[in-house]
Every structure is written in structure tokens, then in C-alpha cells.
Amino acid sequence: MEKFFNCSGACVPSKHYMVEVEPKFPGLQGLVAQERYFIIHAPRQTGKTTIVNQFVEHLNRQEKYVALYVNVESGQALRNQVERVNNLVIAAIELSAKVYLPKAYRPSEACFKIRSMEHGLSTFLTEWCLELPKPLVLFIDEIDALIGDSLISILRQLRDGYNKRPKAFPHSLCLIGLRDIRDYRIYSDSTKRYVVGGSAFNIKEESVRIQNFTPDQVHDLYQQHTDATGQAFAKGTVQYLFEQTNGQPWLVNALGRELCFAKKAVPRDQTITQIHVDEAIERLILRRDVHLDQLADKLTEPRVAKIIEGILVGQEGDVLEEEINEHQQYLTDLGLIRLGPQGLQIANPIYQEIIPRELTAYQQNVLGQNPIWFVTDTGKLDIQKVIDRYIEFYKEHSEMITTRKTYSEAAHHLLFMAWLQRITNGGGRIRREYAAGLKRLDLCIEFAEERFAFELKLSSRQVLKEGRKQLSQYLHRLNLPSGWLLIFHRGEAKDWDQIGRREHLTEAGKHIEVIWL
């Protein structure tokens, strides 16, 4: 069977194209050798399970340790049922041992005899480690699936047994999840208070974050396909693919699958180009595979909305500083945002495209505009008609701005983007640039080999001075002679005669049409 790009579950070297994992082992190897308890964390579908499984195999091949991987995600449904979660974790360890370890290393019946609600896991691990002829190295995945008192119970038992290692407790132990355990705030029903994860597991030596693929790793991954099939990538295409994904492992593999193995894959006798990549990205966005669907679902969380809205409008929202830091760390751990050269921004251009589309999906469907109405007989986009009709629409339907409950500060931006997306779905695309601190959102419509540049800003005292300068710089980068500066009024409009007012200005040799909305 030929290898392919894997987008679900752990990768298997004999079946899937894979990046080189071995360089990641030396750091982990040192933690294990020093009897450390540590954390591995990263966003979903970034290769945590693949790396850990290969490391477990690596350790077992050395024949110095008994290494075992176990997944406890099923404990999430039991929530605060401490005793049942303890039993579930023990059962998960038993099953993994039965599947992956030789019979001589599996826990005996004696390990299961002594149980208590508070010390079930601790007692089990002690009994098992006393039986084993070699030190135990245990990897517990999806630890953050556990909730409340059940999670506190597991963490405290691991902490309490720490001093008995390596003879009567795991020699080394790794917890695997989305976030660093120091960022957990666990609510205890029994004590009616929050417990910080770091205090419940203060034996953590180090947190290892799985990073995105590097440009070289992405190149090597796609080169494996070229070597296996002979299908080439045009010069610069793989680098472009890296830039669009920022090396996010699921996106890299999903695009590989879409380009090389899906129904609309590029035929093997054709070279894959940037145009093919753009088409594959669009199919992924429209299809909303599970990974992208989970991303969209996160946008409804209040703490996610606070940060994303600030990035969309180019400024921080009205949030306390400690809350901002906590929210930012949460979104970073989820893989939604990163600190880039322009400040806080969406993690990669594909997510950057998905987020405003997802937030405007409903508006797009109720706008009642046929894209054909805005295309001329020659197939070009009538951009002035697009703008004129939007002003008319906004005056008639301003309640779509004023009644929005979430992302209200970005409501103007989102409605205008919904309008453009609805129209460009007829054969164009929108490229967006936005980041917290920019105080603007830049858009470039590409349609029938023409480009139209817009800058969106919220009203302020310096908005016209700042906006014309920023837009002229954007136009210089795009090598365009003119563009549109849309300035949105904060709150409900008071003078409807001024809505849609226009000014024509020149800045640094660029023609700018200012529209007040």
C-alpha cells in the first residue's frame, strides 16, 4: 500500500508520510533519565500522540524501562465522580498494558485488590511498580479531559506518590494535554473554590510544547510524496503552502491529502502549483472538516470572542489586564493566535480567512444579494455598484449592527465582510490583513484579474489622518493606484443624511475615496 498524508489519529511510519521525529527525543530522554515528571502540551492535531507513541517505542527498545501510553479522555463524561474516574483511569492503564506490554510486565491481580475513593490510582501504581523488574515510565494523554474534583484527585495522587519513585511509583511520568497545567483553573464542587493546576501538581519539572512544522520539515514531508510518486511541486509552492499554514501539522497534512489523494487531487502527471494550493484551501474551508469545525465552535466562547474581536478591529477590547493575559494564553494554547511581527494575530492565514467567514455565515445567507447582479457583461466586478448597494442596504438594515449580541464592536466590519463574501463567492476571493494594535482591517478583493483595496476603521479623533496614511501604505504594497477607506461610526447612527458621505483625497500619490458609515 502506498503511503499517504494522514489527517486523523496518530501517524504510523509504515502507512503515512511523516516528518522526522527523532530530533525531539533527546530533550525528553533527559527528563526520563532524571526521573522527572513533566508536561507535553500543544493544540489539537499537532502530533502529540504520534510523537509520544514513537518515544514510548523508543524507550521500550532500549530495554531499560517499561514505557506505556494511556488515554483517559473517556473520563470526561464522569465529571466529578471521583471514584469512578479513578477506576476508569486504572482500567485504561490495564487495557493499554494488555495490548502493548509483554505479559510479564502487566499488572497482576494483586494490584487491583486494594481500592479507596481517594487513593485508587496511587495504590494501584505503587503495587504495580513494586512488581515490575524495571522502572515504569507512564504517559497519560488527554489529562485535561478530566473535570473538577476528579482531575484534582488524580493530580494530587500523582503528586503524593512522587517521593516513592522509582521503586514504588513511576520512575518518570508525563501528562499530555492542550494546555500547560499551570494554566488550569479547576473548580472543586466539594470545596466550592477554584484550584490552580500548578498547585495540585507542583512536582512538574518542565513543560514541553510541541511546535508547528518548520519550513524544512514541510519541504521534507512533501518531498516524500515526490520521491514516492514522481509528482513535483512548482518552485515556491511548498514555501507558499508553509506560509498559508504556518506549519500547523493538521493543515499541512490536510492540504497534502487534498492536493494529492482527494477526489479533486491534481493528476499525478501534473505539477502542483500555488493556484492548486489556493483551490485546495478553499475546498477545506467550505467543507469544514472536524478540525476546522472545532475551530469555529471555539469562537462562541466569551473569552475567545474578547480577543478575536480585538484582533478583527485592530485594538484591544475593554478587558482587565490580568484577564487579557489569561485569555491570550488560552487562545495561544488552543493554537488560535500567535504573537507575530504585527503584534497579536490569528495563528495562520487559513484560520484568518475562516474566522470572519464563520462569524458572518448567517448574514451571508440572509443578505438576499445575487452575485451576478454585480458582474458586468465583460465578466468584471462593478465595484462602485458593490459599494453603492451596500450603503443602501446598511441604511435599510442597520439593526444588523445595533442588535448584534456577540462581536458587537466588530459588527460593522463583519457585516461589510459578509456583503463582500456573498458577492465574491461568484468567482473571486478576499485577502485579509488584521492584527491587534494595527487599528484597522485591510481587505483586497481579487476578481477577474483585478484587485480592489479597502481599509476598515472605527471612528476616532485621528481616524482620517491615520486612515489615509495607512491605506496609502497598503496601496503601495499592492502596487495599486487607488482604494477605499471605510470609517464606521461607533454605536447607533444619529444623522442618517451623513451615512454614506464621501470624500476624495490624495495621499502619497494614491487616490483615496473615504466613505463614512
Q: Return the CATH architecture of domain 215-287.
A: Orthogonal Bundle (1.10)
pTM value is 0.87
pLDDT band at 322 (very low <50, low <70, confident <90, very high): low
pLDDT at position 316? 63
Name the strand (E) or helix (H) holding 516.
Answer: strand 510-516
pLDDT at position 270? 97
Sequence ranges of the domains in the chain: 22-209, 215-287, 302-516
pLDDT at position 147? 81
Q: What's the residue count for the chain? A: 517
pLDDT at position 163? 93
CA distance 48 to 32: 17
Name the β-bridge partners of 38: 174, 206
Q: Tens digit of pLDDT for each residue in 73-126?
A: 988 888 778 888 999 999 999 999 999 999 999 999 888 776 555 568 999 999
Q: Across all residues in the chain, what is the average pLDDT? A: 88
The residues, ordered by sequence, that sit 6+ positions from 189 with a Cβ below 8 Å of its Cβ are: 80, 148, 149
417 three-state secondary structure = helix
The grid coordinates of residue 233 equal 511541486
The residues, ordered by sequence, that sit 6+ positions from 290 with a Cβ below 8 Å of its Cβ are: 8
- CATH for the stretch 22-209: 3.40.50.300
pLDDT at position 499? 84
Q: What DSSP string runs through 104-118?
A: GGSPPGGGGT---TT
Mean pLDDT of 251-262: 96
pLDDT at position 197? 55
Name the strand (E) or helix (H) holding 153.
Answer: helix 148-161
**β-pair type (450-458, 482-488):** parallel
Question: Among residues 467, 517, 468, which one has the least CA distance to residue 495?
Answer: 517
Mean pLDDT of 164-185: 86
The residues, ordered by sequence, that sit 6+ positions from 227 with a Cβ below 8 Å of its Cβ are: none
